[in-house]
Amino acid sequence: MRRALRPPMCLAAAWLLAAGSASVSSAQSGVATGTPMGTVRTDTLWSQSLGAYKAVVVYLPPSYSAASRNRYPLLVYLHGRGGNERNWVDAGRLDRTMDSLVRTGAPEAIIAMPDGDDGWYATWNQLGDANACRADTVRREPAATYCVPWTRYDDYIARDILSHMDTRYRTLARRESRGIAGLSMGGFGAITLALQYPDVFAAAASHSGVVSPRYFGPKPFAPPPRYANTTAELQTAARNLWSDLRWVMGKDTIGWNARDPGHMVQRLQVRAATGGPRIPQLMLDVGVDDAYVDQNRDLHATLTRLGVAHRYAEWPGAHTWSYWQAHAAESLRFLLGNVAGR
């Protein structure tokens, strides 16, 4: 996968441009059961950070339409590599899980689920390959929205998506009322975005995240950890992700360390100690049979060594939607517990 300069926007793509946010509603009415349910819709927005129009799936809580003055916390849920903005609803049933929590007394929240391509929710070390980028046949996404000219996926989430949500919906537009979560690549994105923008997000949760990409061994995890230090070792550590990560992080440890969650925590600790923003609340979970379990154990060990409060859990399961669907309620409860009612 590569991102690149996209071709000029043509009239054939005008359906994306009509009003800056062409929304399609898909309401879950609950009429048959009489049970209030949230509403799921899809918006289109212009991302200045990417230089392209992108889609975001939005969950509005059951009381949203009736409560004309209420404002709600905002949660952002990020998809994984090869995924899209509909994954958390179609495969993860996140809207149904949120409805279920609300019925048992949990606070309501708005949820944004943006299209993140395979961008790793980071500013890339280099631009993509303009000659290689084509329409995404897996997601069936046209080149006009897939081949972005500027690969600043972190600013896209923390600035463009939040600006759209705060402008269009009745969010509580403040750090204390925002949380972010994701799975796999999105777990990496959730943790790194919270650490990069601690003035924007109060809490972050990762399911099965790629959260220590330089981790090299031992396997299974045991201290002291060893990290990749050469281009060859970085490629070995990345395995099948190298085709992405060489663009995102580069081919040396400078770029990898700049985007590494463990290093980001240490830098934020220094800032917090001198009056800077405080470290967001963090949660990590992973399946014991997941390919990235050792990375999660390594970040857990790093956070523990640094004295950074966090929640960590390992559960039966692997890198699958059955695992993420089963544990989505835990990240929702965690985020709501840190952002709701503030």
Residue-level pLDDT at 36: 82
Least confident of 65-74, 204-213, 239-248, 267-276: 65-74
pLDDT, tens digit (0-9, with 9 covering 90-100), for 90-113 = 999 999 999 999 999 999 999 999
For the ranges 120-129, 178-187, 214-223, the lowest mean pLDDT is seen at 120-129
* 41's tokens: 């819709």
Give which of 171, 203, 206, 214 is closest to 185, Cα–Cα: 206
Residue 136: its pLDDT value, please?
52
- The model's pLDDT over 121-160, given as tens digits with 9 standing for 90+, comes to 999 998 766 456 655 545 556 666 678 999 999 999 999 9
Q: Please give the pLDDT value at position 134.
A: 55
Q: What percent of the chain has pLDDT over 90?
A: 80
In residues, how long is the chain? Answer: 342
The residue with greater pLDDT, 224 or 146, is: 224
Average pLDDT along the chain: 88
d(Cα 293, Cα 87) in Å, to the nearest integer?
22
Average pLDDT score over residue span 269-289: 95
Q: Is the pLDDT of residue 21 over 80?
A: no
Has residue 30 got a pLDDT over 90? no
pLDDT reported for residue 141: 64
9 pLDDT above the threshold of 60: no
How much is the pLDDT for 83?
96
Residue 193 contacts residue 228 (beta carbons within 8 Å): no
Measured in whole angstroms, how far is the alpha carbon of residue 212 from the centre of its chain?
A: 16
Domains in the chain, CATH or no CATH each: 11-339 (3.40.50.1820)
pLDDT, residue 69, reads 87
Mean pLDDT score, 258-275:
95
Burial class of residue 312 (count of CB atoms within 10 Å of its CB; 0-12, 13-18, 19+): middle
Omega cis (within 30) before 316: no
- Kindly indicate the confidence band of residue 35, based on its pLDDT and cuts at 50, 70 and 90: confident
Q: How many whole angstroms separate alpha carbon 154 and alpha carbon 200?
A: 12
Residue 28, pLDDT above cutoff 80: no
Q: Residue 297: pLDDT band by 50, 70, 90 thresholds?
A: very high
Confidence of residue 15 (pLDDT cuts 50, 70, 90): very low
- Range name among 44-53, 122-131, 292-301 with the lowest pLDDT average: 122-131
For residues 211-221, average pLDDT: 97
What is the pTM assigned to this prediction? 0.89
Which of the pair, 234 or 145, is modelled with greater confidence?
234
